[in-house]
Each structure stands twice: as structure tokens, then as C-alpha cells.
Structure 1
Amino acid sequence: MVKKHFLLLLLSALLGSCSVLQPISEPRREFRGFWVATVVNIDWPKSGQDPIEKQKADYLKLLDFYQDLNFNAAIVQVRTAGDAFYESQYAPWSRYLTGKEGKAPDPSAFDMGKGESMLAWMIDQTHQRGMEFHAWLNPYRATFDLKTETLSADHDFNKHPDWMVRYGKKYYYNPGLPEVQEHMASIVGELVDNYNIDAVHYDDYFYPYTIKDEVFNDSLAYNTYRLPGQDLGDWRRGNMDSLIKKSYRAIKRSKPWVQFGVSPFGVWKNKATDPKGSDTQAGQTTYENLYADPLLWMEKGWLDYIVPQIYWSMDLPVASHRKLLDWWAENTKRTNLYIGNGPYKIKNNSDEAWNKKKELPDQISYARANEKVQGNVFFSAKSLMLQKKGFVKYLRRNYYKYPVLSPLSATPNFTPFTEPELKGIEREGRSVQLRFDQLDDVRSVVFYRSKKELQPFYRPKKMVAKIVVGEENTLVLPPEALKGTKHLAYAFIDKYGKESEPKILHLKQS
């Protein structure tokens, strides 16, 4: 997804110096996400050969680490290269999960009576920690290399060889074929229909990054499907527009509250080629090389959020994080804007700015200072886990001390939802079980530390728990949420992020 970004820039100059930004107080709503890359086992699982119990334990370590940092969204790659981390009629099981493509996980490791599977288990565990689960798909990468003999017979390379284009050392789906676009929309629809996900997420790989002296051979499709007078670039961008529109509609047709997000490469266009572009000198751009136009997708209302991958340091001359954040803030319309940050570069990059402790913190502060920006996403999940504990503690103390709510959906449903009625409170050891009449329209319930009378709840430090609703009408408050308080207030969050008026929950001190 990102390892080649530094090669895509004209790195002729490095950062000299930058001012240190002061931490800005935590907002009440903020998107705090992390990408879990599964392709070639970057983040998880550590190996497809690992026993399922180890894979489960490693996934929980990722979640627990970010829960301790008060993050609220896991963006997990469930399709890497024509494969799937779940049972699908459109793709074989991923080798990165089971060690062999097409091989399913051992069903005895799950509670099949409840319809549990690896992905269902992952979603449930993510929700148990108060986090959203965003299913990340790479739409058009068909293989990760040219070793096609290792592909399953059910892989599209073998089922639909006419869909494939060889480019560099990989095969790609041909985005210009209408049947390929419909196929991808069907994959999205299947995923949304069958799993309790919060969002579908596409990364930056649309048409592949340009390789010098290589030709992406889609001339037959171009000559067949182009409009009269349409040049190759506009035709390819039209194909990406069609993919985004069809994917968005497949999601909303099934579950309107499930969000759709895209994380494009951080440079739309350079100002040198378009006055509307950013003041950068990127060697490749989203518009001209990947044939993606996220500005149009936002204008059309096909996205719920966008996460430009701005993985460069604050004042890198050829692609300043500062300038690019300002550019995206100015050009993002009708869509929530989150910033993609690259902690994988910390003390691991030719840009010396990444050797400074303040580089990532300054980026977080700069994002919070801009009212158009509503959060951050880190690539990749293991990057912070590999940093010194002191650095992680510094981030938590100064930037992520308290839990926060996720941003409202960019296109929320403002119809009032039916508030559940509390029917009973029961003690279960050191926990408390709350029973409601129904929780059909509720995504989560948030609990705040309170006094006997209702207090303002705008400060994040008052939040003690956020419980994502499952299939039952009961919730269990853990002991840590009850510690040191006689009174809690609770509020319902609907599927679009709206919060109800809080109510007091009276508890006796145990």
C-alpha cells in the first residue's frame, strides 16, 4: 500500500527544520484508526502457517494495544489480491490466512452454532473493545507476483483469464471491463450483506502505479467501450468513477448506515500541471497515474469519508505534510476528512525529520488545529507497537488520554430513532447487566461518569465505556466502568452516529 511512496517523489531535498506544535486538547468526536495490513502478512497474521489460536491471540494483541491508546476504528484488509479472509462465492480463502490459497480455516476453532467464522470473530472482538470494524479491500490487484501456479482453481485468474492484465510483476483486473466492475460491486454487496461491518474501505491501488517502459495493455477494452472522442486518461478515470459509484450503491442498497471510505495517494495533482493542484513535486499523482479523481467522487456524494495518505514529514520540500493537509482540507466537500499518517517511517526513512520525536505528534496537532479534519489513521498497525514504550506513553498522555466518539456520518439520517427503555439492572459479580426492551436502531451505548443530577458531557474524560450492541438486548458494564462512582449517565448512539440525550443510571456502591 505505501512502501513505495517515497520512490514516487522527486526526493531532491530533505527537511531542514520545523517548528514544534503544542498538543491541542482532545475533541469530543474524532476518528482514530489504524490499518491492519494482511497482504504478505505485514501486520497480521504473522504467518498463514500459524495455528488459529495463535492468530487469534496476535489479533487481540493488536486490538488491546490500540484500545489502550483510546483508538476507535480498525481498518482490516480482508481482500489482498483476488482472495478473501472470509467465505466468499467470488474469491478463494487467502493464503495469508491459512497458508494455502483456497484452504479454509479449521471450523472447530469457532462457535459455528452462532454462525461464527474468522471474520465474524474478528468483527465481534473489535466491537467488544468499542471500536468500529472497517473492511479494507484492494479492488483490482489480482496477484502479488507472477507465481500463478500457486493460485487456487477458484481464483479469478483461472476462472476469468480474459479479465487479467499483466503489468510489471503482477496481474491486475482490467478496470475497463463492465463485468469486472459488476464483479467488484457483487463482492462488496456480499460482504455487507453477510457481516456486521461498519464500513467498506478501498486503498490507493486503482490503476497501478506507473512503471517506466511498461504498458498497461487495455487497448482492446478501450476501443470497445470508450465514448466517442474520449481519450485514454478520461476513459480510465471514467472506469474508476463507475467502480466507486457501483460500490457505494451496493453498500447503501443493503445497509444505508454502513459507510464507504477511500484512502487515495496523498497528491491529487501537482500545481505545475494544474493550478488547482497542490504545491508539490510528486513523481506520480492520483489523477494522472492512478486515474482516480476523488474530488469528483466527493462532489457526487459517493463517499462517506476520505483518508488521503500524507505519509511525508511536515516540511519536506517536494511533498510537505503541512501543505498537503491544508490542500485536502480546502478541497474536501460533502465528506468526512481523516488524515493518513505514516508512523512506519519513524527512525526508518531517508528523511531525517522522521528521526525526531516530535514529527508524528506535530502532525497530529496540525490536524486537530484544522476544523475540516476530523481524525487520523496510522499505517501500519504494528508500526507503533515496535516503537519504544516511552514514545507510546507520550502519545497517550498528550494526544490520546481519553476515549472519544466517532464523527457523525457525512450523510446522516436525521430521522429520530426509537430510544430503548431500560427494563432491568442486575449485578453479575463485579459487573452490571442492563436489560433493554429493544436495541434495534442502536449501534452503541456510551456511559459517562456523573453526579446524581445530569451534568454536561462534552468533556472526553467523563466517558468510561462505549459498548457496541450485538444481537442481544442486554449489555454488561465491566468493573472498570463502575470503579469509584455511584452514578453513571448513558446515551444511545444510532447507526449514523447521532447521540441521544443522556439519562442517569443510579448505581449503589459495591
Structure 2
Amino acid sequence: MSHSLSFQTVSKLGALVAGALLLASCSSEPPKSLVTPVAGKPSLPARPQQNQEMRGVWLTTVSRLDWPPVASVNSSPALRISQQQQALRLKLDNLKSLGINTVFFQVKPDGTALWASKILPWSDMMTGKIGEDPGYDPLKFMLDEAHKRGMKVHAWFNPYRVSTNTKPSTVSELNRTLSLDPASVFVLHRDWIRTASDRFVLDPGIPEARDWITSIVAEVVTNYPVDGVQFDDYFYAESAGSALNDSQTFIKYGKGYHSKADWRRHNTQQLIEQVSRTIKQLKPGVEFGVSPAGVWRNLSQDSAGSDTRGAAAYDEAYADTRQWVQQGLLDYIAPQVYWPFSRKAARYDVLAKWWADVVKPTHTRLYIGVALYKVGEPSKMEPDWTVGGGVPELKKQLDLNASTPQISGTILFRENYLNQPQTRDAVNYLRSRWGS
């Protein structure tokens, strides 16, 4: 695709958004940081303090894990719409009764959208077919219903994922979008697409790909009354057997970097800076946060790291999450601390307190992501999740969050585990603790 085509989608959003996009430099010299490193004071104005404790839940749409109901997809259009909307209303009623005040709603599970986008085709999660209009706007519906109940909604984006697999049937389906408007990025910008962790992903080293992601966030923030925007931990996502091949991109854009790892971290930094600035220019009241892996770096790798032995975001996702907090780029950070107190390699209390120390001198709020999905599940390494139905472990985690001044709340992963038999005791406990 020609260079100019990369920005067609951006221009559709009008001068307001285009002006807000901080386009990364395409020169071979590493671009200078858009953000002045913190010297005593963060680079953004003080955050208004949040009076209410965050009691959040992630509501996943990828693979229809939490919503929409799998059975609804094969129904007639009218029935499908009523089934999907009714299921969401019931979920929100249940969340409200539990005292949950914020839903992190996955609006971009891959290279498709759960809103009426001019940049991305409709998600096949709704209809079974990429690009097929679901007959209503799921994001608008979610916002209307949640706001009616006094609950906030953060639009949760997976920035780089294009598909959850690389099967021939997936390739055919993505190719079929060429006749649609908008078509998939898979066919519009084939040169941005790589394979990693057996999925199609965008190459984070390509400046135009980062601009494109920024334009998608801008579209949502401009057109919908979202309370916040969240990126999950999938920045550079690769596996041992399926690494991201970005060597050509590194040759093109990586001059001046000592290592590919440093260059990759710079690319992730550029995306976070662009998105943060764009949101603040469009709607300063919309919060921007990231939910990274719980470990930034281990003490064995870095004297500033946590006393843990876990997979580290800095080294594996090429995300310097601590730096983003220190530079005032995030309104909140929600590390996924998915282990119990007794897990020696990554103790809950060790990590929660480490993050509390990181946010202490900054204006970034800290919410801890808690592993609801492990509650009641037998585990050799983490037996505490089944003791007393998981209630004692959950209580300990929530007590620590509540008693640590720097921790502003908890987010549960993920919504459908509130409806499972193995979490019944824990859910009753949550209702007694948080519910009205």
C-alpha cells in the first residue's frame, strides 16, 4: 500500500483528531522522547482524586468468553439482538448488585470493532462474520445501560492483535473483507502484518501502524461518552515457538539503538505517549490506563525490580510500565497480580506493595487486577484458591488493597467467573463486602 493510504482512515476523523495525533518521526534517527523525564514533578497536571474505590471487572468479548452468548450468534437477526442485549442487561444488573462500579469492556478484541467504526470492520463476535452489521451498536448499548445504572465503562483495546489464529479459514475470512468498507487492516496494510504466538499481529515497530492504532482510540473517544480507555498487556506478544519476525523493521527503523530490545521498548513507549496525548487533547476527562503483567522486572534482573521470579513485562512484552507511571503518561495502572500470598515466585503482597511504592510519588492511580478465574480451581502450585471456597485468599487480597493508601481499588478477571459454581462462595463474600 502507498504511504498516503495509511492516513486515509485518520483523515476521515476530521482535523480535530488528525491534529491530536502525534505522528512518530519516520527518520532513521531514534526520535526524541515526546515526554520530559520526571525531575521531581510528573509531566502532566495533577489528577483529580477519585472519591470512590474502584471495584471493576473485565468483560471479555474475544472468543465470546464473557459476552455475547455463543448461542445467540446462530439465531435470526431479531432474536440475536434481543438475546445479546438481554444477556448484557442481566450481567450489568448482577454486577450492580455485587457493588461493581466500573466495567472494562473489550471493544477491540482483534482487528475488528464492537462499535460503528469507519476504520475497522464489525467484529464477527456478534454475528459470526467479520464486517456484518450486528443491527445495533454494542458499545453504545453498553454505555447507555451501564450509565443508567450509575456504572462507568472503560473501552478496553487489544492494540496489536489482528486475529486469534492463523488458520486458512481465518485468512480467507480476512481476505473476504477486501470488498467491505472498511476492510480489514490485514488486506489494506499487508506489509504491517506479522505472525507471533500463532496469531496475526501488527508490527509495533512501524510508525504508521502506531498512528493507525492511535486513530482508532481517537475515533472511540471522539464519538462515545466512554469514561476511560485501557490497553491490556499484549504489546509485543510472542512465544518461544512463534517469535515475531521484525528484523527488517529493525534494520529500517532501529538505527542508533544498541539492542533490538531497547528499540522495541522505545516503540511501545511511542505508542503509549501518542495515545496518552491524543486522549488528553480530545477529552481531558477520559482516563487512560494500562493493565500490564504483574511483574515489571525481577530483582535478579534489576535492583529496582520486585522480589519475584516471574515473567517480566519489561523483558517479555518490551513494555517499561514503571517508566510510564513515573512520566505521568497514565491516569491509572492495573497490574495483573494473579497469584496468592503463598506463591513464593510472585507473592501477591510483595507485588502489590512494590506497585504501591512505584505510584507513591506520582499522580497515577493504582488498581490491582485479581485472579477471579483461579478461585475454586484446584492447583498444585496454588492450593489456597480452593481453601474455604477461595474466600480467605480473596479476603486477604482485598484487605491488603483496602489498607494500602496507594491502592485505589481492585479489578476482577473476568466477568463470567462470577457466574460459575466454583466461585459461588467468593461471589457471596463479594456481595456481602461490596454490595448494597
Q: TM class by shorter-chain length?
A: 0.7 to 0.9
The residue aligned with 1:232 is: 260
The residue aligned with 1:206 is: 235
The residue aligned with 2:37 is: none
Q: CA deviation at 1:358?
A: 1.1
Q: Which amino acid aligns with 1:128?
A: K
The residue aligned with 1:49 is: 74
Does the 8 Å contact 1:142/1:172 carry over to 2?
A: yes
Task: Work out the CA distance in 2 between the residues paired with 1:247 and 1:28.
Answer: 26
The residue aligned with 1:37 is: 60
Q: Which runs of 5+ in 2 are unaligned?
A: 1-49
Does the 8 Å contact 1:93/1:102 carry over to 2?
A: yes
The residue aligned with 1:260 is: 288
The residue aligned with 1:354 is: 385
42-51 or 217-226: bigger deviation: 42-51
Q: Which amino acid aligns with 1:355?
A: T
Task: Work out the CA distance in 1 between the residues paired with 2:316 and 2:120.
Answer: 28
Does the 8 Å contact 1:165/1:217 carry over to 2?
A: yes
The residue aligned with 1:197 is: 226
The residue aligned with 1:164 is: 193
Q: Which amino acid aligns with 2:308?
A: T
Q: CA deviation at 1:255?
A: 0.7
Task: Work out the CA distance in 2 between the residues paired with 1:72 and 1:215.
Answer: 38
Q: Which amino acid aligns with 1:353?
A: D
The residue aligned with 2:210 is: 181
Which of the pair is proportionally richer in helix?
Answer: 2
Task: Work out the CA distance in 1 between the residues paired with 2:289 and 2:420.
Answer: 27
- Alignment CA distance shift 1:369-1:156 (3 Å): same
Task: Work out the CA distance in 1 between the residues paired with 2:98 and 2:418.
Answer: 10
Task: Work out the CA distance in 1 between the residues paired with 2:67 and 2:106.
Answer: 9
Match of 1:217 among 235, 239, 245: 245
The residue aligned with 2:147 is: 127
The residue aligned with 1:501 is: none
Task: Work out the CA distance in 1 between the residues paired with 2:430 and 2:258.
Answer: 50
State yes or no: 1:142 paired with 2:162: yes
State yes or no: 1:306 paired with 2:333: yes
The residue aligned with 2:352 is: 325
* Equivalent residue runs for 1:470-485 within 5 Å: none
Show CA shifts across 1:248-298 (max 9, x none): 11211111100101000001111111111111111x210001000111111
Q: Which amino acid aligns with 1:393?
A: N
The residue aligned with 2:27 is: none
Task: Work out the CA distance in 2 between the residues paired with 1:43 and 1:213.
Answer: 29
* Equivalent residue runs for 1:253-292 within 5 Å: 253-282=281-310, 284-292=311-319
Q: TM-score, normalised by structure 1?
A: 0.69
Does the 8 Å contact 1:185/1:247 carry over to 2?
A: yes
Task: Work out the CA distance in 1 between the residues paired with 2:257 and 2:430.
Answer: 54
Show CA shifts across 1:290-347 (max 9, x none): 0001111112211000000001111201111111101111112320000000111112
Task: Work out the CA distance in 2 between the residues paired with 1:135 and 1:349.
Answer: 32
Does the 8 Å contact 1:83/1:94 carry over to 2?
A: yes
- Alignment CA distance shift 1:213-1:101 (3 Å): closer
Does the 8 Å contact 1:65/1:385 carry over to 2?
A: no
Q: Which runs of 5+ in 1 are unaligned?
A: 1-26, 108-116, 403-510
- Alignment CA distance shift 1:401-1:41 (3 Å): closer
State yes or no: 1:78 paired with 2:102: no
State yes or no: 1:59 paired with 2:88: yes
Does the 8 Å contact 1:36/1:77 carry over to 2?
A: yes
The residue aligned with 1:490 is: none
Q: CA deviation at 1:199?
A: 0.4
Does the 8 Å contact 1:315/1:322 carry over to 2?
A: no
Q: Give the 3-state SS of the residue equivalent to 1:358 in structure 2.
A: helix
Q: CA deviation at 1:131?
A: 0.5
Does the 8 Å contact 2:123/2:130 carry over to 1?
A: yes
The residue aligned with 1:345 is: 374
Task: Work out the CA distance in 1 between the residues paired with 2:250 and 2:143.
Answer: 40
Q: Which amino acid aligns with 2:151?
A: M
- Alignment CA distance shift 1:90-1:201 (3 Å): same
Does the 8 Å contact 1:325/1:339 carry over to 2?
A: yes
Q: TM-score, normalised by structure 2?
A: 0.81
Does the 8 Å contact 1:33/1:74 carry over to 2?
A: yes
Task: Work out the CA distance in 2 between the residues paired with 1:244 and 1:312.
Answer: 27
Task: Work out the CA distance in 1 between the residues paired with 2:224 and 2:160.
Answer: 22
Q: CA deviation at 1:389?
A: 4.6
Q: CA deviation at 1:49?
A: 3.3
Match of 2:118 among 81, 89, 97: 89
Does the 8 Å contact 2:368/2:411 carry over to 1?
A: yes
State yes or no: 1:393 paired with 2:422: no
Show CA shifts across 1:130-159 (max 9, x none): 010100000001111012112233111111
Q: CA deviation at 1:29?
A: 2.3
Task: Work out the CA distance in 2 between the residues paired with 1:393 and 1:93.
Answer: 37
Q: Which amino acid aligns with 2:150?
A: G
* Equivalent residue runs for 1:15-26 within 5 Å: none
Show CA shifts across 1:106-144 (max 9, x none): 25xxxxxxxxx3321210100011010100000001111
- Alignment CA distance shift 1:349-1:310 (3 Å): farther
Q: CA deviation at 1:349?
A: 4.3
- Alignment CA distance shift 1:265-1:229 (3 Å): closer
Q: Which amino acid aligns with 1:236?
A: R
Show CA shifts across 1:429-465 (max 9, x none): xxxxxxxxxxxxxxxxxxxxxxxxxxxxxxxxxxxxx
Greater gyration radius: 1
Task: Work out the CA distance in 2 between the residues paired with 1:374 and 1:400.
Answer: 15
Q: Report the number of matched residues.
A: 364
Q: CA deviation at 1:28?
A: 6.0
Query: Identity across aligned pairs (percent)?
Result: 37
Task: Work out the CA distance in 1 between the residues paired with 2:241 and 2:163.
Answer: 21
* Equivalent residue runs for 1:338-487 within 5 Å: 338-350=367-379, 351-356=382-387, 357-387=391-421, 389-397=424-432, 399-402=433-436
